């Protein structure tokens, strides 16, 4: 007959709540950083009350409770998130925008979860319409609840006069009650969830700009001219999104040139450089690319480009378009960041 460890009987007489308190107290004594705030408030309260009621636990009882806890962990195959909000957090990015919005509203209604967690997780561009439409006092509360870096980014996107009014209004939020802050959070979160779902992630000007970037130069210039005659504001937005080959020298960082060249096959690169040679608009970009490569690689490319005969316009523009496509690909993946006129 195998003897039970000392303290086993006492451990078995403890309630689940007492055992939980022992595990939490032990983990804290070992320096564990427990996110107890993520638990429902009634469980947090019950746990704190239980810990307040307990005094001393023998080493043998502690060992028995920990052993039981570890045994339950070993037998655990899968764990699922608690409640709808937990499931939504786990599945974020895998559901459609419409389903995500409906589930967020349902989760908030069912659990009374903190709406500010939803708001803080939004990018500045998503929150900007709220900052432009809501009253100054409400916006001041929003700025006060956001992390400093997000509040600063959001404030930088607000027009000057309004931004100054909002910054001053923050000084008037000292007496706002927690209940008011929660009501404002709930209202803002509802606004974010009911905003119409957009079919396209990018702005119209960016989409047209991407199309014209891949178009032949003659067609691009003709269409831009027509856009300026029809809608100069939209035409300017399109121009900002266009990345023709000749603009690479001003929009691509010198350190990013090798990363781009690595993804372009040598034949395409040589064709583009050969086509650009001697062209007033294109040659500066060709020189920019060559100047930011190793001396050996640059010299090889110069020699290969010089050995080419006359490049047909169609072939040259196609080669340049492939280089631009690689730059756009790296930009979309976040591997490089294109420079803006003021950078």
pLDDT at 292: 95
Q: Look-up: residue for tokens 């659990």?
A: 111
Give per-residue pLDDT as tens, 257-299. 999 999 999 999 999 999 998 899 999 999 999 999 999 999 9
Task: Tell which wins on pLDDT, 197 or 93.
Answer: 93
Band (pLDDT 50/70/90 cuts) for residue 118 is: confident
Q: Which residues of 87-102 are buried (b: 16+ CB within 10 A; e: fewer)?
A: ebeeeeeeeeeeebbe
Lowest mean pLDDT among 99-103, 227-231, 329-333: 99-103
pLDDT at 10: 57
SS in 3 state form for the chain?
A: CCCCCCCHHHHHHCCHHHHHHHHHHHHHHCCCCCCHHHCCHHHHHHHHHHHHHCCCCCHHHHHHHHHHHHHHHHCCCCCCCCHHHHHHHHCCCCCCHHHHHHHHHHHHHHHCCCHHHHHHCCCHHHHHHHHHHCCHHHHHHHHHHCCHHHHHHHHHCCCHHHHHHHHHHHHHCCCCCHHHHHHHHHHHHHHHHHCCCCCCCCCHHHHHHHHHHCCCHHHHHHHHHHHHHHCHHHHHHHHHHCCCHHHHHHHCCHHHHHHHHHCCCHHHHHHHHHHHCCCCCCHHHHHHHHHCCCHHHHHHHHHHHHHCCCCCHHHHHHHHHHHHHHHHHHHHCCCCCCCCCCC
**Chain center to CA of 328:** 18
Assess whether pLDDT exceeds 80 at residue 120.
yes
Residue 307, C-beta contacts closer than 8 angstroms, at least 6 positions apart: none
Task: Express as a percent the part of the chain with pLDDT over 70.
Answer: 81
pLDDT at 109: 52
56/61 Cα distance (integer angstroms): 10
| Mean pLDDT confidence for 148-164 | 88
Identify which of 183, 182, 170, 189 has the alpha carbon closest to the alpha carbon of residue 126: 189
Residue 204, C-beta contacts closer than 8 angstroms, at least 6 positions apart: 234, 237
170, 140 Cβ separation under 8 angstroms: yes
Could you give all domains of the chain from N- to C-terminal order, each with its CATH number?
8-74 (no CATH), 114-194 (1.10.220.30), 204-332 (1.10.220.30)
Task: Output the six-digit token pair for 260.
Answer: 């781009």
pTM of the model: 0.43
Q: How many other CB atoms are there within 10 angstroms of residue 107's CB atom?
A: 19
Task: Tell which wins on pLDDT, 91 or 258.
Answer: 258
Band (pLDDT 50/70/90 cuts) for residue 238 is: confident
Task: Output the six-digit token pair for 288.
Answer: 């920019």
Assess whether pLDDT exceeds 80 at residue 247.
yes
Give per-residue pLDDT as tens, 316-342. 989 998 999 899 888 878 888 888 655
């Amino acid at each position: 007959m195998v003897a039970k460890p000392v303290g086993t009987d006492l451990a078995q007489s403890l309630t689940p709540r007492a055992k939980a308190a022992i595990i939490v107290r032990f983990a804290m004594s070992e320096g564990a950083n427990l996110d107890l705030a993520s638990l429902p408030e009634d469980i947090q309260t019950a746990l704190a009350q239980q810990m307040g009621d307990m005094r001393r636990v023998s080493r043998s009882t502690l060992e028995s409770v920990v052993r039981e806890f570890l045994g339950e962990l070993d037998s655990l195959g899968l764990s699922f998130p608690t409640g709808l909000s937990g499931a939504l957090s786990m599945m974020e990015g895998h559901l459609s925008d419409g389903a995500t919005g409906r589930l967020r509203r349902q989760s908030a209604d069912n659990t009374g979860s903190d709406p500010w967690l939803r708001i803080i997780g939004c990018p500045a561009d998503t929150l900007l319409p709220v900052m432009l439409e809501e009253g100054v006092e409400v916006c001041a509360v929003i700025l006060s609840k956001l992390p400093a870096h997000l509040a600063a980014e959001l404030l930088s996107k607000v027009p000057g006069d309004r931004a100054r009014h909002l910054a001053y209004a923050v000084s008037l939020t000292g007496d706002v009650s927690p209940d008011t802050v929660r009501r404002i959070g709930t209202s803002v979160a509802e606004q974010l969830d009911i905003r119409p779902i957009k079919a396209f992630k990018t702005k119209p000007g960016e989409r047209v700009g991407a199309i014209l970037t891949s178009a032949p130069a003659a067609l691009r210039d003709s269409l831009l001219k027509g856009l300026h005659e029809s809608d100069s504001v939209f035409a300017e937005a399109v121009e900002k999104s266009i990345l023709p080959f000749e603009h690479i020298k001003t929009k691509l960082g010198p350190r990013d040139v090798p990363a781009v060249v690595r993804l372009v096959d040598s034949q395409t690169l040589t064709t583009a450089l050969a086509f650009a040679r001697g062209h007033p608009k294109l040659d500066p970009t060709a020189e920019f690319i060559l100047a930011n490569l190793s001396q050996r690689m640059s010299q090889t490319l110069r020699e290969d480009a010089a050995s080419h005969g006359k490049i047909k316009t169609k072939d040259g523009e196609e080669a340049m378009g492939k280089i631009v496509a690689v730059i756009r690909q790296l930009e979309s993946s976040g591997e490089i960041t294109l420079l803006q006129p003021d950078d």
